[in-house]
Amino acid sequence: MRLAGAHAAVRRIWTVELRPQAGGPTLVCPSCTARTSPLQASSARSAVLAHLACHARADALPVYLRSCQCRLQGCSWHPRHRGCAGQVLLALTRDRSGRTWRLADACAACAAATSHTAVVPDTLLIPRRLAAAAPVRPRVHGDEPQRVREMLTYLASALGCVTSPAARLLALQCALRADTHCCVRLPAGLLRSMRLYRRAEVWQELAQDGWLELPDPRAAFLQVRLLDGAVLDQAPGRSARRRAAHWALKPAPLIVPAASKPADRLIALVLAAHTTAAGPAADMAVVARLCGHSPQQTEVLLDRLVAGRTLSAWHHQRDTDEVHWKPAPPHRPAFGPADTSAH
């Protein structure tokens, strides 16, 4: 007997490969037998995302017909976790070499547990000309943590896995402040507040990763051009991104001292971006990936936030791999040991 409303799962997995050639990498797609002419290394990532988005647009399905492709593969794309859960999303994954890219439907839990994966917003599937002609939506304030969380997730996939915390913080500000031409101007005062003024090695790190062009260090305003045009698709508009960039500098309720190390500032930002109405919690694997650290290194950083009185406690629930934390109260006693809780 066939149940009413039952339907076979539709395969929604698209993969492309960047094959190195003498004149630059070429994009090869087994789904449509596409093969491009040699690409500039700086534009290859954007070409990959644009090609995969074309497939997703052409094979669009109603939400109720989409299913987690990771589950259909036996959840072989990620380490063990507590099971499929959450909304079905489009997840972009690259392998460690950066040559093979996959776009697929995955539930929120599987997308979060898969390494080198970023959630692709639905706005990416709308052609830019149509998106520009769409009616302007009213501004929604208070969504800055979500915008930062989305961009951090994207950068975790777009940047190299060994990218330093300082470079990740700088990339976040550049991505959120970029204009429609992928150009961004950063005043010296902003860089001083981030303790990144005249830190040429941080810019060099992002340039070597093929993510931006090196700026002129002599200019009063550092102006750079991002080589990853896909960052503009990670948020609904420039004004929302700029508000998120401002919030990321002092991410309440987890504001660390100005002199804190970049690693401490980054993990505090990641936790603040995951502090929602449902409670301050996230998968340990997600927190570690967004910070570019191992889970063991992440635990050390969490202890440092407790020692610095940014957190009052944290706990790692190992059976679900969830980490929970408690922000320190705004008015704390001047003396007394910090409660590091059990973890």
Q: What is the per-residue pLDDT across 226-284, written as a single tens digit (0 to 9) for each?
A: 887 777 665 556 788 899 999 999 998 998 988 899 999 999 999 999 998 778 998 88
Return the closest-CA partner of residue 18 out of 40, 154, 76: 40
How many domains in the chain? 3
Asked if residue 4 has pLDDT above 50, the reply is no
pLDDT digits (tens, 9 = 90+) for 187-240: 888 999 999 988 999 999 999 888 898 887 666 678 899 887 777 665 556 788
173 and 208 in a single domain? The answer is: yes
Inside any domain, residue 148: no
Inside any domain, residue 140: no
Return the closest-CA partner of residue 145 out of 303, 252, 238: 252
Inside any domain, residue 141: no
More confident residue, 291 or 135: 291
In this prediction, residue 265 carries a pLDDT of 96
More confident residue, 132 or 315: 315
Q: Which of 218, 247, 276 is the last residue of a domain?
A: 247
Residue 57 CA to residue 264 CA, distance in Å, equals 40
Which residues lie across from 185 on neighbouring strands? 223
171 and 238 in a single domain? The answer is: yes
**C-beta of residue 165 within 8 angstroms of C-beta of residue 263:** yes
107 and 169 in a single domain? The answer is: no
- Confidence band, pLDDT 50/70/90 cuts, at residue 112: confident
294 and 262 in a single domain? The answer is: yes
The HSE-up count of residue 208 (CA atoms within 13 Å, CB side) is 11
In this prediction, residue 116 carries a pLDDT of 81
Return the closest-CA partner of residue 230 out of 64, 76, 118, 107: 118
Asked if residue 14 has pLDDT above 60, the reply is yes
Asked if residue 180 has pLDDT above 60, the reply is yes
Q: Which of 223, 247, 271 is the last residue of a domain?
A: 247
Which residues lie across from 106 on neighbouring strands? 89
Instruction: Give percent of the chain above pLDDT 70.
Output: 82
The residue range of the domain holding 256 is 250-343
In this prediction, residue 215 carries a pLDDT of 82
Return the closest-CA partner of residue 121 out of 247, 237, 242: 237
In this prediction, residue 195 carries a pLDDT of 92
Return the closest-CA partner of residue 193 out of 252, 275, 248, 269: 248
Q: Where are the alpha helices (H) located in the chain, listed in sequence order?
A: 41-58, 69-72, 108-113, 128-133, 144-158, 165-177, 188-193, 200-208, 238-249, 262-273, 284-291, 295-307
Asked if residue 339 has pLDDT above 80, the reply is no
Mean pLDDT score of the chain: 82
33 and 58 in a single domain? The answer is: yes
Asked if residue 15 has pLDDT above 70, the reply is yes
In this prediction, residue 129 carries a pLDDT of 46
Q: Which of 214, 247, 280 is the last residue of a domain?
A: 247
**Range with the largest mean pLDDT of 27-41, 69-83, 105-119, 311-325:** 311-325
Asked if residue 128 has pLDDT above 60, the reply is no
In this prediction, residue 82 carries a pLDDT of 66
Asked if residue 341 has pLDDT above 60, the reply is no
Asked if residue 174 has pLDDT above 90, the reply is yes
